[in-house]
Structure 1
Amino acid sequence: MRNRRPLMIAGSLSILAAALIAFASTGSARAAGAADARLELSRSLGLLHAGNISAARRHAQAAIKADPGWGLAHAVLARIYLALEDGVAAEGELGRARDAGFDIERAHQLYAHAWLLQGDPKRAIAEAGKAEPRFAGYALRVGARALAAQGDLPGAQQTLARLLAVAPRDSAAWSDLGRVRYTSGDTAGAIDAATRAIALDGNNIEALTLRGELVRGQYGLVAALPWFEAALKHDAYYHPALIEYAATLGDAGRYADMLEATRHALAARPGSPQAFYLQAVLAARAGNYDLSRSLMERTAGKLDGLPGAMLLGGVLSYQAGAYEQAIEQWRGLVGRQPMNLSVRRLLATALLRSGDAKSALDVLRPIALRGDADSYTLSLVARAFERTGERDWSSRFLDRAAWPAHGGSTPFGTDDSLPVLGNAANDAPDDPVLRLDYLRGLIDAGDTGAALGQAQALARDHPGAPAAQLALGDVLMVMKRYGDAATAYARAADARFDEPTMLRAVDALDRGGRRQEAANVLALFLSQNPQSIAGQRLAAHWQIAGGDWDTAIDTLEGLRGQIGNRDGALLAELAYAYIGDDDPDTGLVYARAAYRLAPMNPVATDAYGWALYQQGNTGPALQLLEKAASIAPEHSVLRWHLGQAYADLGRKAEAVSQIKAALADPGFDDRNAAIAALKALGTPIA
């Protein structure tokens, strides 16, 4: 889709304007209305130059209405349709221009663009090669986009580089280069190209839209909105900007504004599949799956190959009980995005529902073997093993699912052998994907030295690609070089500050003892991406650790509104927050609900016990607190809570043992209170 953006005005506009002036000076007789036609076409060209393509179309149509036999007016309207991404309408107008006497030798580049928009890049390249020299810039841009559409991104960049070598002030060429670089993963290079395009021509609404997309990844959702709004100030019905604007508004939680933007997009392009898709997403988020399904049907299958549509289509099929259809769509998406953990979980859930437990285990295996596997995935694995009759393995994964602390995260592994990965990388040294696969294989094999060398070379060869910097940071994290990893993640964040980059940066800074810097990074991310569930969870956890109870409650209640009441960890944290805010009654309600959902989860168990303890029910509380500490004896907060309960019951020796165990953890936050408790028990601090 990114390769089908409208080409902006350049050399062809000046030639069309010159032809218009020449025509006006001939003084040849025309039918009534010829003067009006010239005026309307002049206005159309001016608006096209100013970036108001929709208004330019109206005036070009008015010119044709005033003088239907004027070939130049049809040619201008064809050019406008190309800017609006309507290749079929453009080809039709070119035919009318030819029939009206327009010299079709001047239109090879226009035909090439029309055929590219119709999905025929091979034919577009051949036609662009026939363009007259004065239209060479336009023709080269069409050719570059056609190469990109065929997957030849290096060839597209080389073509645009040749053009910019002779026309360095060609704004449209710079925006095309930015789009190609963005598609190839060179985010920093794309930012530079888009910035240059706008500096050369502030009316280049394609470049403004591209800059908005780049800012969305670089700084966040909120920061991107003004760029889309700037494009829409030029042309309120510019469809590409409306679609990106609507999607960004939705991700930022501004659903009413998102709906309005999609309606404008449908007014600009009736039947827009992108607009219907976004409306379907909005309906699904509201739980109206019937409406969402109806809206997806109106896309007429034109977006079926896009990841977002595949994901939503699977959700709608699953909600309707059509598990095989959901499996088909999600399996295809996992094939295209093997590292998408969320889709793997969804696919495994559908496979379990369909009775195929073995396939569910195959899908979940790469996640379940990770040290940081989440409890939901581990529970799914346990259910799958139970379905296959392997109850011993089911019990093991149920135990892991109940564990509150996970191992450190590692890069996503690969099933291919290291020699196979190495040979593939050596055979295609310019393919960063194969080099990343080899790097992951080295990490899996424990060869961190070689992995670091590969990661450093990858980052050096692709300095503008965030993925290369993230790979370097991941290797450094495995080596426990947290400060260096944080630096690598910061370089990645300069170009793309998305959720995975934020989480990596925060983790590296926190493990490196730089909690305040980590908190600043998290706060900056949430200011731009307020709907991020992972970001809000982390913020709430730190707010509780810092005793900022009111803020923690606000954050967690907002999260509960987003994800519902079936998340035991969330309910347990709400219990802690309310208890800390001197509201143990509300805390007990949440703690009991958390324990009911996950009775073997030590954090939920401790929250229930801690809530009872705060109400003075020390006896029942002690049983729960002891159970929690026995499940997770290395968890310092659980030992600290149990120590306080023992102290209240006069069991001094046991209290001292538990409190000292909590203090032995360097990451234990409530140290001053624990030390004071030991002093109150008459125990010296060792």
Structure 2
Amino acid sequence: MRRLIVILLALAAFGGAVVAWFHLGSGASQLDARTAMARSAAALKAHDATSARDFAAAAVREEPSLATAHLALARAMLALGDGVGAEAEIQRALDSGADPKLLPHLRAHALLLQGQAQKAVDEAGKASSPFRAYALRIRGRALAAGGNWQAADNAFDEAVKLAPGDPDIWSDRGRFRLATGDMLGANEAAQRVLQLDPNHLDGLVLRAELVRSQYGLVAALPWFEAALKRDSRSLVALVEYAATLGEAGRTVDALAATRRVLAVQPNSPQALYLQSVIAARAGNPALAQALLAKTGTAIDTLPGTLLLKGALDLQSGEYEQAITKLKALLDQQPLNMPAHKLLAAAMLRRGSAEAATSLLRPVTALSGADSYALLLAARGLERSGDRDGAASLIDRSLAPTAPGTRAFTVDDSLETLSAQADQRPGDPAAQVALLRGLYTAGDNAHALANAQRIAAANQSVPSAQLLLGDALMLAGRPNDALTTYRRAAGLRFDAPTMSRLVEALGAAGKNQEAVNVLGLFLSQNPMNLTALRLSARSQLRAGEYAAAMNTLEQVRSQIGDGDAVLNAELALAYAGAGATNEAQELGEAAYALAPANPLVVEAFGWVLYQAGDLAHAAELTRKALRLAPDAPDLRWQLAQIYADAGDKSQASALIQALLTDRRFTRRAEAAALLPRLR
């Protein structure tokens, strides 16, 4: 009986709990349609579009024939970038009795999100007066998507005049300015958005992207985090946040962010792509391939996807597939130099030597072309039977990289390029092509005049300022170039701008400022290879060998052991820190990779000198001098080796010659050594 009573009481308690749970659950999840719509509108106003969609969907479920519920769901879907879903809801609203005059601006937005730019323009033109500003905003975006920049600019201007207090218009205008390279205009628009609405989600994401370009990766992270506080499930904010974390070297955090994306959108192609990049960087190409395969065809045409897939195909021996993808990338970005080199490598391995050589011609025409591109082109010439041409390129690849013009050569004549520039005065591509042609022809004065004109007409466009800075550097005017590079850095402080600014500061004798600029950039972009290598060289010059070792090891962790100059620099750093055995191994590895590169030979000779092997150190340093006979630092190195080896006459002769060389910067040390040689 006692057992029966206990069981009955338990069942009664359970039944009461079930009833209570049912009533509580229905009150929480089964809102009436009007309440759900009100909450959707409030969430949308608070920039939580994901919650707005959920509430609007609840209203539609509650009253499927309510037109306003379908419109609420359409607006939330538009905010989330779901053009297909939004258009379907707009049609359902129309079928449920919505006034057709209320819909064209929304339908135009949905069409734009589906990539139907011209249809969006046409539909936006049907919008009635109360929705004119919204429609103009969509028209501007659609025209920009079609490449009609001037008409897009006019549409945004008109929209701002009609609704100057609409933050959505300012946000889209800011993105338009960013797309045209007008960083100042983009920043002004982003600031205006946040003045009007400090919680504006798109405005916060735009500001984060601008801060990332202007100040660096680390500085942008708080802005992305602020956006995610408004809507923790915003795909746009999450994807950009994950990408920024990955570029900043915070791999664990980046993976966590991609998992947040996948929780919101299972099989998100953007999240899978980012995970694939992380896997590729970690040296796991099989995992990278598997992750990319899961993206299907959703992002196949994006430049980053094409480059990654092309590189992975090349690595796995799928040369035809690599060629197809890399050609598609170069159709979009003709000046993408990594793509040029990967495509040339794929063509060489397939046996198309002449095509590979032709493809690399714009790269190898640079006076400062990298050794990898030169060796690829040399291999192509050699297979085509041009051994003399191949030998010339090999010689260049073994020489130290010299500073030179950053302009690429072009196939068109100067007359053709000038005519195109005259016909299209507002087209930056035509103007830049003319500048390249002038640089190639050696007409630096004319190139400088054109660069000055372009920079004056585009004060807020960083690339225009860089063109002028490059022209001034070529003209031997580093102080004038500094002013221009600083202006560009104030607009967009990326790696190309930073490296130019550091170079100009060094040429102007402002070495400490160059160190400060480099340190600032690295604090924001800690994994950037260009900055790491520049920093390591600065540390080596300053005798900070432990710091240089750490910096160079970070570089090696990213690019591996196949870079001869990197191995030589590591050898110098280890030798300076007293790790003699490791230094000799690295110096030998560098020498095995590039035995005719004077920088490598010099470094190996110095490492052996530090280890006490004076005979071999002298032999290698003499070889380096034969390869680079006009290098005063090499003669100073050889003088020190001779002095320690007891060959006072040769050491004294070298030092006396060095003291008459204006380029030699270590005169005090040399003068102090000379008396001891008498």
TM class by shorter chain equals: over 0.9
The structure-2 alpha-carbon separation of the partners of 1:449 and 1:608, relative to structure 1 and needing over 3 Å to count, comes to closer
Counterpart contact for 1:545–1:669, Cα < 8 Å? no
**Is contact 1:644-1:655 (8 Å) kept?**
yes
Pairing partner for 2:70 from 74, 91, 94: 74
Aligned to 1:673: 669
Structure 2 counterpart of 1:471: 467
Q: Per the alignment, do residues 89 and 665 of structure 1 end up closer, same or farther by CA in structure 2, a change over 3 Å counting?
A: farther
- Could you say if the C-alpha distance between residues 669 and 77 of structure 1 is closer, same or farther in structure 2, counting changes exceeding 3 Å? farther
CA apart distance, 1:403:
1.4
Paired residue type of 1:556 = L
Q: Are residues 1:394 and 2:385 paired?
A: no
Please say if residues 368 and 378 of structure 1, whose CA atoms lie closer than 8 Å, have aligned partners that are also in contact: yes
Secondary structure in 2 matching 1:314? helix
Q: Are 1:626 and 2:622 matched, yes or no?
A: yes
d(CA) in 1 for partners of 2:669, 2:616: 24
1:507-526 alignment runs, 5 A limit: 507-526=503-522
Residue equivalent to 1:171: 167
The residue aligned with 1:267 is 263
Query: What corresponds to 1:296 in structure 2?
Result: 292
Is 1:54 the counterpart of 2:50? The answer is: yes
Q: Which moves more between the two structures, 466-475 or 653-662?
A: 653-662
d(CA) in 1 for partners of 2:660 and 2:48? Answer: 67
Flag the 1:359–1:417 CA change in 2: closer, same or farther, 3 A. Answer: same
Q: Distance in 1 between matches of 2:504 and 2:457?
A: 24
Distance 2:609 2:30 in 1: 90
- State the SS of the aligned residue for 2:103: helix
For normalisation by structure 2, the TM-score amounts to: 0.92
1:279-329 CA deviation, whole Å, 9 max, x = no partner?
A: 221222122222222222222222222211110111121122111221222
2:587 is equivalent to residue 591 of structure 1: yes
Residue 103 of structure 1 aligns with an amino acid whose one-letter code is D
**Structure 2 residue corresponding to 1:576, chosen from 553, 572, 578:** 572
Distance verdict in 2 for CA 1:168–1:655, change over 3 Å: same
Q: Pick closer, same or farther for the CA change 1:113–1:92 going to 2, 3 Å.
A: same
Identify unmatched segments of 5+ residues in structure 1: 1-32
Distance 2:666 2:529 in 1: 26
Question: Partner letter of residue 215 of structure 1?
Answer: V
What residue is the counterpart of 2:35 in the other structure? Answer: 39
Letter in 1 for 2:470: D
Shift of residue 48, structure 1, vs aligned partner: 0.6
- Are the counterparts in 1 of residues 370 and 401 from structure 2 also a CA contact under 8 Å? no
CA deviations 1:444-482 (Å, max 9, x no partner) are 222222222211111121111111101111111110111
Q: CA deviation at 1:254?
A: 1.1
- 1:147 is paired with a residue whose SS is helix
Match of 2:301 in 1: 305
Quick one: distance in 2 between partners of 1:347 and 1:34?
Answer: 58
Q: For residues 655 and 57 of structure 2, what CA distance do their matches in structure 1 show?
A: 81
Does structure 2 conserve the Cα–Cα contact (< 8 Å) formed by 1:569 and 1:594? yes
Moved more, 461-470 or 94-103: 94-103
Aligned equivalents of 1:460, 1:214: Cα separation in 2: 23
Between the aligned partners of 2:628 and 2:431, the Cα distance in structure 1 is 40
Greater Cα offset, 624-633 or 493-502: 624-633
Taking a change above 3 Å as real, the CA distance of residues 409 and 672 of structure 1, as seen in their structure-2 partners, is farther
Q: Deviations over 1:502-543 (max 9, x none)?
A: 111111111111111111111111111111111111111111
Structure 2 residue 633 is the aligned partner of structure 1 residue 637: yes
Call closer, same or farther: CA 1:68–1:570 in 2, change over 3 Å. Answer: same
Report deviation, 1:173: 0.7
Aligned to 1:458: 454
Structure 1 residue 234: Cα displacement? 0.2
SS at match of 2:295: coil
3-state DSSP class of the match of 1:372? coil
In structure 2, the partner of 1:191 is 187
> Counterparts of 2:59 and 2:313 in 1: how far apart (Å)?
49
Amino acid at match of 2:190: A
Matches of 1:426 and 1:275, distance apart in 2: 45
Structure 2 unmatched runs, 5+: 1-28
* Aligned position for 1:218: 214
Match in the other structure for 2:99: 103
Q: Which amino acid in the other structure matches residue 332 of structure 2? A: R
> In 2 relative to 1, CA 280–618 (structure 1 residues): closer, same or farther, beyond 3 Å?
same
Amino acid in structure 2 at the alignment position of 1:632: A
Q: Which of 229, 236, 240 matches 2:232?
A: 236
User: CA, structure 1 residues 628+448, in 2 after alignment: closer, same or farther (shift >3 Å)?
Assistant: closer
**Structure-2 change in CA distance of 1:329 and 1:679 (3 Å):** farther
Q: Superposition pairs for residues 176-575 of structure 1, below 5 Å?
A: 176-575=172-571
Q: Report how far residue 591 of structure 1 moved.
A: 0.9
Q: CA deviation at 1:333?
A: 2.5
Q: Deviations over 1:93-130 (max 9, x none)?
A: 22332333332321221111111212222222222222
Q: Identity, % of aligned pairs?
A: 48
Query: How far, CA to CA, are the matches of 2:356 and 2:269 in structure 1?
Result: 33
Cα RMSD after superposing both structures: 1.9
What is the alpha-carbon distance in structure 1 between the residues aligned to residue 206 and residue 294 of structure 2? 27
In 2, Cα distance between equivalents of 1:663 and 1:490:
36
Residue aligning to 2:648: 652
Structure showing greater relative contact order (alpha-carbon pairs closer than 8 Å, 6 or more residues apart): 1
Does the residue aligned with 2:152 lie in a helix, a strand or coil?
Answer: helix
Amino acid at match of 1:109: H
Distance 1:645 1:164 in 2: 72
Could you tell me which amino acid in structure 1 is paired with residue 627 of structure 2? I
Could you say which residue in structure 1 is the equivalent of 2:10? none
Q: Measure, in 2, the Cα distance between the counterparts of 1:419 and 1:360.
A: 28
Q: What is the CA–CA distance in structure 2 between the aligned matches of 1:278 and 1:184, rounded to whole Å?
A: 26
In 1: Cα distance, 2:171 partner to 2:677 partner: 71
TM-score for both structures, normalised by structure 1: 0.91
Residues 369 and 401, structure 2, Cα contact 8 Å, conserved in 1: no
User: 1:52 offset after TM fit, Å?
Assistant: 0.8
2:194–2:200: 8 Å Cα contact kept in structure 1? yes
CA distance in 2, matches of 1:175, 1:150: 19
* 1:632, distance to aligned residue in structure 2 (A): 1.4
Opposite residue 385 of structure 1, the aligned amino acid is L
1:115 lines up with 2:111 in the alignment: yes
Counterpart for residue 18 of structure 2? none
What corresponds to 2:5 in structure 1?
A: none
Distance 2:341 2:101 in 1: 56
| Kept in 1: contact 2:281–2:558 (CA 8 A) | no
Contact 2:105–2:127 at 8 Å: present in 1 too? yes
1:282 aligned partner, one-letter code: I
